[in-house]
A and B are shown apart, each in its own frame.
Chain A
Amino acid sequence: MEIKEETRGKVKIVGLRGKLDANSSPAVEKELLALMDRGEERLVLDLSELTYISSLGLRIFISVAKNIRKVNGKLALAGLNDHIYEIFKIARFTNIFSIFPSCEEAVVHCAD
């Protein structure tokens, strides 16, 4: 799993590349929570290069979203492939997350 970071104005974009499974999830969660500790409150998670996710990966999104909510920040997810979007639907994550086809749209949402 590779994690890429990019800043656009007030928005931090974090790109996750590879598999978010039982092995990679703890390190990714630690990294994302560390970002929030450093004061990042507007976060776009670019999932366009994410190829796999399991429940241990899904729980990271809940954890990050709760932390963002606490500081009145903004979170958006972008670029989910069809398989991952299907898993988000089964977990009803599509009801609780702002999900955009492209990273650009997610950045606009978070910059508002």
Chain B
Amino acid sequence: MVYEQIRIVLSNDLSEIAKLHRELEIFGQKCSLTPKTLFELNLILEELLANVVSYAYGDNQRHEIVVQADLRDGELVIKVEDDGRAFNPLQSPPPDLERPLEQRKVGGLGVHLVRELTNSIEYERKDGKNFLVVRKRIEDPR
């Protein structure tokens, strides 16, 4: 069984996204991910992390966000754990993408992209933490 895993601990600051991209680059090479899959993995995790950093915390304290990606038998399992306020992205309403430019909102696209680029999303609130598990089937050789 081919099995690769990466675990990254980030703090609640958008500048941490640079670190996330760097670590995922190394993970992508180790797993021989195609450029398309690596692009999408970066995007999925950036969207999830940006949501947590932007909306989960009302204080000015440092918090740890734990990101994990596992590749096993052609499936990427992506986990994000944070101790912010309860937020279930599955409950956010889908953006209306058929509106003309004047009525398009600038935000709301992140969760939509994650939904479209993955096969399943599970959310759980436990012990004061948010646990998000996102699964993505990949066509890569491994």
Contacts and interface: CB of A to CB of B under 8 A. Distances in A.
B15 A23 contact: yes
A59 B109 contact: yes
Given A23-B15, A90-B116, A92-B98, A52 B110 contact: no
A65 B101 CA distance: 8
Given A59-B109, A83-B39, A54 B47 contact: yes
Interface residue tally of chain A, by bracket? 20 to 34
Interface in A75-95: 82-83, 87, 90-92, 95
B101 A56 contact: no
Contacts of A91: 97, 109, 112-113
A22 B14 contact: yes
B70 to A, nearest CB: 22
Given A59-B106, A62-B104, A96-B101, A90 B117 contact: yes
Contacts of A58: 109
A69 B102 CA distance: 9
B56 interface: no
A59 B54 CA distance: 15
Contacts of B97: 91-92, 95
B11 interface: no
Q: Which of A53, A65, A82, A92 has the most chain B CB atoms inside 10 A of its CB?
A: A92
Given A19-B21, A52-B39, A52-B42, A62 B50 contact: no
B1 interface: no
Contact of B18 (A23, A59, A69): A23
B74 interface: no
B104 A56 contact: no
Given A19-B21, A54-B50, A92-B98, A87 B113 contact: yes
A87 B46 CA distance: 14
Contacts of B113: 54-55, 87, 90-91
Which 8 pairs across A and B sit closest by C-beta, in order of nearness? Answer: A92-B97, A55-B109, A55-B110, A59-B106, A83-B39, A54-B46, A96-B101, A90-B116
